[in-house]
Amino acid sequence: MDQKFELIETTSQPVLSIRKTTSVGNLPQELGAAYQSIMAYLEELGKQPADAPFTCYYNMDMENLDVEMGFPVSEVIPGKGHINASQIPPGKKATALYSGPYQEMGPTYEALTQWVIDNGHEPTGVVYELYYNSPMEVPENELLTKIVFLLK
């Protein structure tokens, strides 16, 4: 696998998001509904997302995934209803850019985990995925996802 990993340090990033517990089987529907709600709210405010949509995984329990779904925004925007004003926390992060079907990301996760450990860092267990395109726009093998591990 020809994979490029990066260690970065970031400031906090304001986001609008929806946090839910769901199963991996229901995740595509939950993501679609969350992204639509947040985009409708942003349009109502005359605002645009600052980056690609994301999902934050707080655990990897496939039947009870604790996920936060949303968009980075350029400034703090108050939440509304089930949409929360939140942030991607500041700090050290390890990143990988993955190209291909979502269900085949496992080896990239494993390689990034090993790279983090080999470089003397410890993951917190919280992982962000930023989606630069969608299965509705491109073939699965062209999906582009940035994987971001928060580090201790």
Give the CATH number of the domain where residue 25 resides: 3.20.80.10
What are the backbone dihedrals phi and psi of residue 37, each rounded to the nearest 5 degrees, phi first?
A: -60, -45
**Per the confidence metrics, is the pTM higher than 0.75?**
yes
Total domain count, the chain: 1
d(C-alpha 16, C-alpha 50), whole Å: 11
Side chain identity at 6, as an amino acid letter?
Answer: E
The sheet carrying 91-99 orders its strands as 5-10, 91-99, 144-151, 123-131, 54-57, 65-72, 13-22, 84-88
Q: What is the mean pLDDT of each run of 10 residues along the chain (152 residues)?
A: 87 98 96 97 98 97 96 97 97 97 95 96 97 94 97 96
CB 56 within 8 A of CB 97: no
**What residues make up the domain containing 61?**
5-151
Q: What pLDDT was estimated at residue 3?
A: 81
Q: What is the pLDDT of residue 2?
A: 62
Q: Which residues pair with 46 in a beta bridge?
A: none
Question: What does the buried/exposed string (b/e) look like for 57-81 if buried means 16 or more CB atoms within 10 Å of the residue's CB?
Answer: beeeeeeebebbbbbbbeeebeeee
